[in-house]
């Protein structure tokens, strides 16, 4: 076997050539892909920063809107009667009618029936009363703006001074 003589310059040249080949075909593509991923991430962060700068100035408006919406939700939740508390509606209707000159002769609770939304029931009442048309209009307007959800399903007015009123008024209740 013959000994191969390698001089230092050839070894250094081959070593450098191998390092350059590894750098060119392995490390350089890996670094380029890494740089492009970082550039995409930087663009994404830049957009988020710009959005945050824009939205940050409106933060107090958003907090005010959130607070107002929470108040509205709370108020609307209180307008729905819990199951078993239907007597609250009868009492409310009876007391309120006196303030508007509508004389309630009878309030008859009927069996609840489902709304379009299956989470709630209509709580119906057949109401017989007397009063002027004007007083009835004011009373129904009050009920629409009151502490409870009400919907008039049927309304019949007969007679004159006093008008006889027969209506089917429905409150809104939670299903059990």
Total domains in the fold of the chain: 1
Q: Would residue 153 count as lying in a domain?
A: yes
Give pLDDT, residue 84. Answer: 67
* Alpha helices, H only, 23-112: 28-56, 59-78, 86-99
Label residue 66 exposed, middle or buried (CB < 10 Å: 0-12, 13-18, 19+). Answer: exposed
Q: Would residue 42 count as lying in a domain?
A: no
Q: Would residue 160 count as lying in a domain?
A: yes
Q: Would residue 166 count as lying in a domain?
A: yes
Judge whether residue 176 has pLDDT over 70. Answer: no
C-alpha pair distances (Å), 126 with each of 23, 69, 134? 89, 34, 20
Give pLDDT, residue 1. Answer: 60
Domain of residue 166, residue span: 86-174
**Residue 146 banded pLDDT, cuts 50, 70, 90:** confident
Q: What SS3 state is found at 37?
A: helix
Place of tokens 């709630």: 120
pTM for the model = 0.54
Q: Would residue 15 count as lying in a domain?
A: no
CATH classification at residue 145: 3.30.70.60
Q: Would residue 167 count as lying in a domain?
A: yes
pLDDT digits (tens, 9 = 90+) for 44-96: 989 988 888 888 888 888 888 888 998 888 877 766 776 666 777 788 888 88
Q: Would residue 7 count as lying in a domain?
A: no
């Amino acid at each position: 076997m013959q000994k191969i003589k390698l001089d230092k310059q050839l070894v250094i040249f081959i070593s450098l050539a191998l390092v350059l080949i590894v750098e060119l075909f392995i490390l350089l593509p890996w670094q380029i892909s890494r740089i492009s991923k970082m550039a995409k991430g930087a663009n994404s962060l830049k957009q988020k920063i710009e959005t945050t700068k824009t939205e940050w100035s409106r933060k107090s408006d958003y907090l005010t809107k959130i607070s107002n919406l929470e108040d509205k939700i709370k108020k609307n939740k209180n307008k729905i009667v819990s199951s078993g508390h239907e007597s609250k509606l009868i009492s409310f209707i009876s007391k309120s009618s006196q303030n508007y000159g509508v004389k309630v002769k009878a309030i008859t609770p009927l069996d609840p029936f489902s709304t379009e939304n299956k989470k709630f029931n209509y709580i119906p009442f057949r109401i017989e009363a007397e009063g002027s048309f004007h007083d009835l209009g004011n009373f129904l307007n009050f009920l629409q703006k009151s502490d409870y959800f009400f919907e008039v399903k049927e309304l019949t007015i007969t007679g004159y001074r006093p008008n006889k009123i027969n209506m089917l008024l429905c409150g809104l209740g939670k299903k059990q």
